[in-house]
Structure 1
Amino acid sequence: MRYDLDDLRLFLATVEEGSITAGADRVHLSLPSASARIRALEHHAGVDLLVRGRRGVHPTPAGATLVRHTRDVLAQTARLESAVTSYAKSPSAPLKLLVGGSAMHGMVPRALVTFLQEHPDVDVRVSESRTPHTVRALLSGEADLGVVVEDEARDRGLVTELLTDDSLVVIGQTGGALTGRTTLPYSEVAEHPLVGLTADASLRRWIEKHAAPQAPVVRYRTTVSNLSVVCALAAGGVGLAVVPRHAVDPSVPLTVCTLQDSWARRRQLLARGPAQESVAPGVAALAAHLRRASAYE
């Protein structure tokens, strides 16, 4: 036989409430209509589903079996509806956010969590991007927002605002090569074995662009794609590492020294394309979440 989902919802509500009257109220049906539906359900099933008494109703063994399977069917139906309707919840193209590698550590994940929770109908596509590429994408309208390095984005026609300090430091194992030092130049850092990000990472490219050709050729013990892993390797004594100061977890035992080089002093900006009459609500909301997340840096 074919079961009607509304009849199943009514039957489950009736059993859970202990009376046809209360079950009918819960699913917004009149008592005569609810009674007729349940009688029709029993007729099609060919078996009594409820024991009726002056104090209410309770399920027969067959009714208890139907209750158990009804819960499964309704739960599966809800998952089905959610899966299908999720494709209709984001009719517009996703927002495109371009960020440098250091922004991927902490700030951007924090902003995405709160933004996506508060805006279930807006999707965001995030890509790691070097500042020159991000600037071009924002100017051409290919991206909605970007987190860029100030020195490379200044006077490029973008609308920008300061987000956070992104200055670089050198870190190493407590009691290791940096013991007793508070500051040193990158040329001295490069004389030691290092751990760092992979060659295509925007932060790695920034360092190599500004440090060469004065610094020695670097020996990387290993390279990884995550700043947290870089910090863990440095803390373990594998090698020194150059990272943004905000990436250093104060609870991890590390020696942290300031880099003397001027290029190590950086600031991150939030940027969007040239000023327009209005900013799309989704873009404005994402920008607000990035501002709040940057306060933790």
Structure 2
Amino acid sequence: MRYDLDDLRLFVHVVTEGSITAGARRMHLSLPSASARVRSLEHHAGVELLVRGRRGVRPTPAGSTLARHARDVLDQTVRMESAVAGYVRPSVAPLVLLAGGSAMHRLVPQALAAFLRERPEVDVTVAERRTPQTLHLLADGGADLGIVLDGESRDSGLRTERLGDDSIVVIGQAGGVLAERATMTYREVAEHPLVGLDAQSSLQQWIEKHLGAHAPAARYRTLVGDLTTLIALVAAGVGLAVVPRRAIPPELALDVRELQDPWARRHHLLCWGTRSPSSPAALAALAEHLRAASR
């Protein structure tokens, strides 16, 4: 026996609403058309599916069984269509977003998740780059948007706007060696065992660049590849760490102290590339999600 999906959808609506009239309305059908479809279902099933009364309809045992299986069939159909749609090539080229390690930790994932749910027809290519590399690619048309640091993006000639604070702080286990301190210099921080990011990370390279040749000798208990692991080790009491304030999960109990060094105060900027995007509206939407995530 073959069933029409629209007939099954109508029957589920009728059973849910308890009324053929209401089911017809949900399917944008006339009442005579909906009634004919229901009668056709009963004819093909060879059994009465609805008990009709002055106050509406209710399913017979056979009707309840059909409605239950119809819901399963319709749910499976939606999943099938969604799975197949995942192979459809988007009609526009992917947007390209570049950002440093700090922004990639929480800001970019939060904005990207909201944007991709809202715009299923648009893909986004994301890559971690230091600010000089990001500015070069944006200027050469190799990217659409970038999140850069204010101190390294002056005189770029590119359109920018302030996105949010990205100051560097020192963190330690709650109630540990930072408990009695209000602020510290990096040189004082380096007197304690540290946990750091590996040498290839954009944040570690940025810190070492500003410390220069006069950087104090520091003992790193370990070097890790991401901020999530770094912060977890600090919370466990392995050592202190220097991280962007915005990377610290608000629910995590840590001692957080300002760094007195001038280079520790910095801001994120949103920066636009020079190429014409294939979808200006999508680019504007991505920028708005980045603004929202930075608040």
Asked if TM exceeds 0.5, the reply is yes
Aligned length: 294
Q: Which residue of 2 aligns with 1:231?
A: 231
Give how far 1:136 is off.
1.8
Amino acid at match of 1:100: G
1:131-280 equivalence runs, <5 A: 131-178=131-178, 180-248=180-248, 252-260=253-261, 262-274=262-274, 280=280
Match of 1:123 in 2: 123
Using the TM superposition, name which of 49-58 and 145-154 deviates more.
Answer: 49-58
Look up the match of 2:70. 70
What's the secondary structure of 2:48's corresponding residue? Answer: coil
Task: Output one character per residue of 1:160-215: Cα deviation in whole Å (capped at 9) or x when no partner.
Answer: 22323323222333554445444444344334321122332210111223324322
AA aligned opposite 2:15? V
Letter in 2 for 1:231: I
Change (3 A) 1:61 1:177: closer
Give % identity.
62
- Indicate conservation of the 8 Å contact 1:148/1:271, yes or no: yes
Counterpart residue number, 1:12: 12
CA distance in 2: counterparts of 1:41 and 1:72, whole angstroms: 17
Separation in structure 1 between the aligned mates of residue 239 and residue 181 of structure 2, nearest angstrom: 16
| Larger CA deviation: 99-108 vs 177-186 | 177-186
SS of the residue corresponding to residue 218 of structure 1 reads: coil
Q: What's the offset of the Cα at 1:118?
A: 4.4
Hey, what's the Cα distance between the residues in 1 that align with 2:258 and 2:137? 35
**TM-score if structure 2 supplies the norm length?**
0.82
| Aligned 8 A contact 1:197 1:224 in 2 | yes
CA RMSD of aligned residues (A): 3.2
Measure how far apart 1:75 and its partner are: 1.8
- Equivalent position amino acid for 1:12 in 2: V
Residues 223-275 of structure 1 show CA distances to partners (whole Å, capped at 9, x for unaligned) of: 33443443343343211111123334566341514142x43333322112249
Structure 2 residue runs of 5 or longer lacking an equivalent are none
CA deviations on 1:61-91 (whole Å, 9 max, x unpaired) are 3222211111111122222233334555942
**TM-score, scaled relative to structure 1:** 0.82
